[in-house]
């Protein structure tokens, strides 16, 4: 009985330690964003959560759709191509810090960091369509 109680106590302590060592999904996303900086460029301090990254990517997608509807298919394609090139340029291997993320979460973080790496974000990390347009039209 005493041996069983000791074993149970040790198991509970180990389980509690493992739980306290695990990172939150926001912390994992931030670590992943830092690891992606070398691949995508941009600001190392740009560490969006997955939801923040999704907002940035959604704003980019909405802007491209608006450009196409307004007859600016060429610049919209140029912007999409620039982002594609940005996040494929560093290779396809997922950094170790990004391993715990789902494929969808990793992809959205990679795209968001690529948008930042192209200089298309404002000081708050939000997508800035004017910076994107300026960058695309200069090329």
30-89 pLDDT, tens digit per residue, is 999 999 998 888 899 999 999 999 999 999 999 999 999 999 999 999 999 999 988 776
How many structural domains is the chain composed of? 1
Contacts of 73 (CB under 8 A, 6+ apart): 67
The number of angstroms, rounded, from the C-alpha of 81 to the middle of its chain's C-alpha atoms is 18
Residue 76 within a domain: yes
Cα separation, 42 vs 136, in Å, equals: 17
Cα separation, 99 vs 6, in Å, equals: 35
For residue range 74-120, what is the model confidence (pLDDT) as tens digits?
A: 999 999 999 998 877 666 789 999 999 999 999 999 999 999 999 99
Residue 108 within a domain: yes
Cα separation, 63 vs 107, in Å, equals: 19
- CA neighbours within 13 Å on the CB side: how many for 10? 6
Query: The pTM is what?
Result: 0.80
- What residue numbers bound the domain in which 119 lies? 23-138
Residue 11 within a domain: no
Residue 2 within a domain: no
């Amino acid at each position: 009985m005493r041996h069983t109680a000791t074993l149970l106590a040790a198991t509970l302590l180990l389980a509690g330690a493992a739980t306290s060592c695990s990172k939150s999904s926001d912390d994992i996303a931030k670590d992943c964003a830092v690891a992606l900086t070398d691949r995508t460029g941009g600001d190392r301090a740009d560490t969006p959560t997955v939801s923040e990254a999704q907002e940035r990517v959604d704003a980019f997608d909405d802007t491209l759709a608006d450009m196409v509807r307004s007859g600016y298919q060429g610049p919209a394609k140029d912007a999409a191509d620039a982002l594609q090139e940005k996040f494929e340029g560093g290779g396809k291997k997922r950094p170790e810090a990004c391993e715990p993320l789902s494929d969808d979460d990793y992809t959205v973080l990679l795209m968001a960091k690529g948008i930042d790496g192209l200089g298309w974000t404002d000081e708050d990390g939000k997508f800035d369509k004017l910076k994107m347009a300026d960058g695309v039209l200069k090329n």
